[in-house]
Amino acid sequence: MAESAIRNVVEAIHSSPIQAVVYLSGGASQSLGWLMSVPGASNTLLEAVVPYSMISMVQLLGRVPNQHCSQAMANEMALLAYNRALTLSKPGCKVLGVGFTGTLATSRPKRGDHRFFLSIRSSDRIWETSVTLIKGKRSREEEDKVASCVLIQAMAKACQVSETFDSGLTESEVPNESETRFSEEEELEQLIDGQLSSKIYLFSKDANESNGDRKIILPGSFNPLHDGHLKLLEAAMSVCEGGYPCFEISAVNADKPSLSVAEIKDRVKQFEVLGKTIIVSNQPFFYKKAELFPGSSFVIGADTAARLINPKYYEGSKTRMLEVLGDCKRTGCKFLVGGRNVDGVFKIGEDLGIPEEIRDMFISIPTDKFKMDISSTELRNNKGGVIS
């Protein structure tokens, strides 16, 4: 009966529109079996990682942890899992990051408590759970099952699944649970500080009807958003075989101060008015954008493409330029290039002398589909052509 109840909850999780990345260490291993054995697992599970050894955990965190089993560790794992889920998820999909760390019964007696910590992160909140188990009451397998049950119940709650089941905890093993919500301003502060990798605003009416797993991204400062941006992305979509169209702003600039929360919100409002999806990231460089949005196509002007292939921006080294763009290529990313004035001459991709090694990354948008050259700087000065 218990296994049937667990299966029903997992089926309900798989039927929800939410995807997740799960990082586990020290227990709850049976939860992965339940998630993966019930049909529909690919609807939910993007990736599961078990960093069990010290070196594996160090590589995940990017540092040596002070304490392996704590709420802070579970929170950090959940945040990493959430950012990873943003990278792996389908365009427009809501995601969760799940972090679990435990110290359970083992082959030798333990002096400390048998306990575990669980954290689940979404865009606007974090759920925390800690449980101390009665020492000696259960075998390792039984403790792992209890921890797995608590994890599945927490995922169900985060997915707004109402069905539940008995976790196997006794009356004295009361979970310590909390839920913390973040305002939009707090989320954006976390993004600027580098905690969150991106935040997506799903303003498009067809956000849940994307005809492809990859994103077609037009990056920019959008100060202001204008007709040229809109028509360039529209033209780019016409030369793509499917994909989810969206715009992207980096809150962090390479050679200027980061945008303030107020500035970000003002620029985002432009897209809300038009019903266009906008992503706010913290990556100003294309090689980092490629890591954050693998498999995506970036829509750029010929002037930006010219800078991308100019060794001047790679410490004067053509070899370094090819290495960096080669890394972008290995993420599956491409560049869709619209015609722009370059040094006073209107050029398209074929006019730029792109090196053969990376030429297949750059796809020109035909001039019969797009031929505009609008400057945001001039629009700010002249107040013309601004979308409002």
Question: What are the tens digits of pLDDT across the range 249-291?
Answer: 999 998 889 999 999 999 999 999 999 999 999 999 999 999 9
**Tokens 């002070």 label which residue?**
66
Answer positive or negative: Cα dihedral of 203, 209, 215, 217. negative
Q: Which of 248, 149, 151, 239 is closest to 201 using CA atoms? A: 248
pLDDT of residue 388: 42
Question: What are the tens digits of pLDDT across the range 162-219?
Answer: 888 999 999 999 999 999 999 999 999 999 999 999 999 999 876 555 556 789 999 9
Mean pLDDT across 368-373: 82
Q: Is the pLDDT of residue 1 over 60?
A: no
Q: Please give the single-letter amino acid code of residue 375.
A: S
Total-model pTM: 0.91
pLDDT of residue 303: 94
- Residue 138, token pair as written in the block: 């259960």
**DSSP state for residue 134 in the 8-state scheme:** P
pLDDT of residue 113: 94
Question: What are the tens digits of pLDDT across the range 12-41?
Answer: 999 999 999 999 999 999 999 999 999 999
Q: Is the pLDDT of residue 351 over 90?
A: yes
Question: What are the tens digits of pLDDT across the range 98-123?
Answer: 999 999 998 888 889 999 999 999 99
- Residue 170, token pair as written in the block: 């006794």
Mean pLDDT across 210-237: 90
pLDDT of residue 214: 85
Question: What are the tens digits of pLDDT across the range 319-345?
Answer: 999 999 999 999 999 999 999 988 889
Say if strands 297-301 and 215-219 run parallel, antiparallel, or are unpaired.
parallel
Q: Which of 290, 90, 323, 287 is closest to 208 using CA atoms? A: 90
